[in-house]
A = this chain, B = another copy of it.
Amino acid sequence: MSNMPADNSMTELQLLDADTATGRSERAKWLLTSPDPPAPWHQLFSSIKQTLLPQPKPKQPRPNRSFLFMQTLFPILKWGKNYKAAMFKNDLLAGLTLASLCIPQSIGYANLAKMDPQYGLYTSVIPPLIYAVMGSSREIAIGPVAVVSLLLSAMISKVIDPSVDPVTYRRTVFTVTFFTGAFQTLFGVFRLGFLVDFLSHAAIVGFMGGAAIVIGLQQLKGLLGLSHFTSKTDVVSVFGAVIKALHQQWYPLNAVLGCSFLIFILITRFIGQRNRKLFWLPAMAPLFSVILSTLIVYLSKADEHGIKIVKHFKGGLNPTSVHQLNFGGPHVGEAAKIGLICALIALTEAIAVGRSFASIKGYHLDGNKEMVAMGFMNVIGSLTSCYTATGSFSRTAVNYSAGCETVVSNIVMSITVLICLLFFTKLLYYTPLAILASIILSALPGLIDLHAAYNIWKVDKLDFMVCLGAFLGVLFGSVEIGLLVAVIVSFGKIMVSSIKPSTEVVGRLPGTDLFCNIVQYPVANKISGILITRINSGTLCFANASFIRERILRSVTDENNTDESSKGRLHVLVLDMTNVMNIDTSGIHAMEELYKQLIAQGIELAVVNPRWQVITKMKAAKFVEKIGANWIFLTIGDAVDVALRLKINGLNNC
């Protein structure tokens, strides 16, 4: 009698067994008989194709196609047809506001780039016109910007000293600008827009913050009226130069003038932020400051009392600079390198600015097309005495606030600047350098994004390290070192996180067939006699395979030691490979070693859910034959079922 119910239950169990076993072997068969994955080169080609070629579009009749192509290249053909007088009124207003901010900023940035002031104005004439016919952003304001000006002067000064040989320096600046444009065009044509992504957001936040401080420190020269200054940009050199200069000759009047106008500009900005309708007040303040201070200096003859003034200022239309480009000299390689760096930084800034305003107005900006437009404008700029132009953060915001409708505001601005160049440059002879410094200084707070840095810190501490690395690199090294640190730390972070030998012990969530990390999910239960581990690396390769093997073997030893008291000796190790996207020959070798060492301890190895690449390579390496196809499962649940059955049989045999 006592045997009967036991027998019955056994039969039921066996029936149930047969049923689940069928499902299990069916699932394992699906896994083992999956078709071969595409070959690596096939994958490579298809991803290159996807990157380089645009999405296929519905076909158009032939005559239309060339027109459509022209429309794609020159978006002005598209929106120009619908342009209305009412829109022009808004664009005119925005353009004039923009020009009033752009003129003093351009002169200041030219000073930062160690060029004569008219080159800043030239750069605000031609590039905006080119962008207006080729670009697709409606709000972006094109012209010289602070960070690129700093980059140019900091990197070219290392090769040619502008105070010794200003002509060669200028020629090199144009050559670099040409390279910048050429690289940008190439990036756009070959759809390499993703290169811009390789500077992570965190790196840009840190880099911009550091660059802003460095630019601010450079303004000490103008503010203190110093004649000699270091050409280095790091904090230590600059402070050393300032302290040295203060012991010699400096003119406090410059500082008084500069600081009072800086305070004036900041107050107008504060008012503008409080009352959005007065947006024109901060936009006009710099031009007003320039005019007022120039008048003061002119009337009081303060330049004879130590106030440094602009002096050299050649008016007139952009002269050609075709013959100034220099592709044969000893510095052409260096110029190309600097051009590449400037191209990336300029694009990063322009695309970030363009996209953020495009998403406010709800239209899409094609990064690759933008690159072509930027590239053309810089190539043509380099032939017409312009240095590298890009989209400016601060002026784009002003353009947007002033209610611009299209890039016509850029055309208006360009014409206004041109008029200024033609008729008013003589008047700017007495403009004090301290005012230019205060205008640059007033634009810097927008580059330091403490809020973003705080968010990065909150979300990802390692990303914050990237940000901090770029910041400190720019501050204490140079702009290149800052960029290099950012790129190396960013990629190092990816490298470390992908080869980090990470495994987790997994348990069953109660009432389900789900298996999760027992630390993350404290409700998950371990199963006695079975150890379930999951490899948490995307790749099992030479750099982490032997580590992961050691880790798993160590956890097996630990498990055996703690379980000995409860008599639940380990029978099966279930290895969940769900997360392992790829494996190499060293990884396969480590799996073979693991299997050998487990078998030596009398423990079976069950492999769960090897991914497509992994199962294919395991089959190629005959690893599947070695451990037996019946020890490969699609789910942890299936593996645990078999393992439990083995354990019961083992106990029965004892």
Question: Which residues of chain A have a CB within 8 Å of any CB of chain B?
Answer: 23, 27, 30-31, 34-35, 37, 39-41, 47, 55, 194, 197-203, 455-456, 458-463, 490-491, 493-495, 497-502, 509, 511-512, 514, 516-517, 519-523, 536-539, 541-543, 545-547, 554, 578-579, 581-586, 588-589, 611-612, 617, 620-621, 634-635
Contacts of A40 in B (CB 8 A): 461-462
Contacts of A522 in B (CB 8 A): 35
Give Cα A516–Cα B194 distance, bound, in whole angstroms: 29
Task: Tell me, rounded to whole Å, the shortest Cβ–Cβ distance linking A459 to chain B.
Answer: 5
Whether the pair B200, A460 counts as a contact (CB closer than 8 A) is no
Contacts of A499 in B (CB 8 A): 494
Tell me the number of copies of this protein.
Answer: 2
Whether the pair A495, B495 counts as a contact (CB closer than 8 A) is yes
- Kindly identify which residue among B39, B494, B554, B634 contacts A55, using a CB–CB cutoff of 8 Å: B554
Give Cα A198–Cα B199 distance, bound, in whole angstroms: 27
Contacts of A519 in B (CB 8 A): 35
Give Cα A539–Cα B202 distance, bound, in whole angstroms: 16
Task: Tell me, rounded to whole Å, the shortest Cβ–Cβ distance linking A623 to chain B.
Answer: 9
Supply 12 further A-B pairs (C-beta < 8 A) apart from A194-B546, A494-B495, A497-B538.
A34-B521, A39-B461, A200-B584, A203-B542, A459-B585, A490-B543, A497-B498, A516-B634, A517-B612, A520-B612, A536-B581, A537-B581
Whether the pair A497, B200 counts as a contact (CB closer than 8 A) is no
Task: Tell me, rounded to whole Å, the shortest Cβ–Cβ distance linking A554 to chain B.
Answer: 7
Give Cα A439–Cα B440 distance, bound, in whole angstroms: 75
Whether the pair A201, B459 counts as a contact (CB closer than 8 A) is no
Contacts of A497 in B (CB 8 A): 498, 538-539, 581-582
Closest to A542 in B: B200
Closest to A615 in B: B520
Contacts of A521 in B (CB 8 A): 30-31, 34
Known: A34-B520, A455-B621, A538-B537. A586 touches B194 (CB 8 A): no
Contacts of A198 in B (CB 8 A): 542-543
Task: Tell me, rounded to whole Å, the shortest Cβ–Cβ distance linking A639 to chain B.
Answer: 14
> Max chain B CB contacts within 10 Å: which of A463, A493, A512?
A463
> Max chain B CB contacts within 10 Å: which of A34, A40, A197, A509?
A197
Whether the pair A620, B35 counts as a contact (CB closer than 8 A) is no
Whether the pair A509, B27 counts as a contact (CB closer than 8 A) is yes
Task: Tell me, rounded to whole Å, the shortest Cβ–Cβ distance linking A589 to chain B.
Answer: 6
15 contacts between A and B (CB under 8 A): A30-B523, A39-B461, A47-B500, A47-B501, A200-B585, A201-B589, A202-B586, A491-B495, A491-B543, A493-B541, A494-B539, A494-B541, A497-B498, A498-B498, A516-B634
Whether the pair A620, B459 counts as a contact (CB closer than 8 A) is yes
Give Cα A582–Cα B55 distance, bound, in whole angstroms: 30
Give Cα A569–Cα B80 distance, bound, in whole angstroms: 36
Whether the pair B494, A634 counts as a contact (CB closer than 8 A) is no
> Max chain B CB contacts within 10 Å: which of A494, A511, A585?
A585
Contacts of A455 in B (CB 8 A): 585, 621
Contacts of A31 in B (CB 8 A): 521
Contacts of A547 in B (CB 8 A): 194, 197
Contacts of A612 in B (CB 8 A): 517, 520
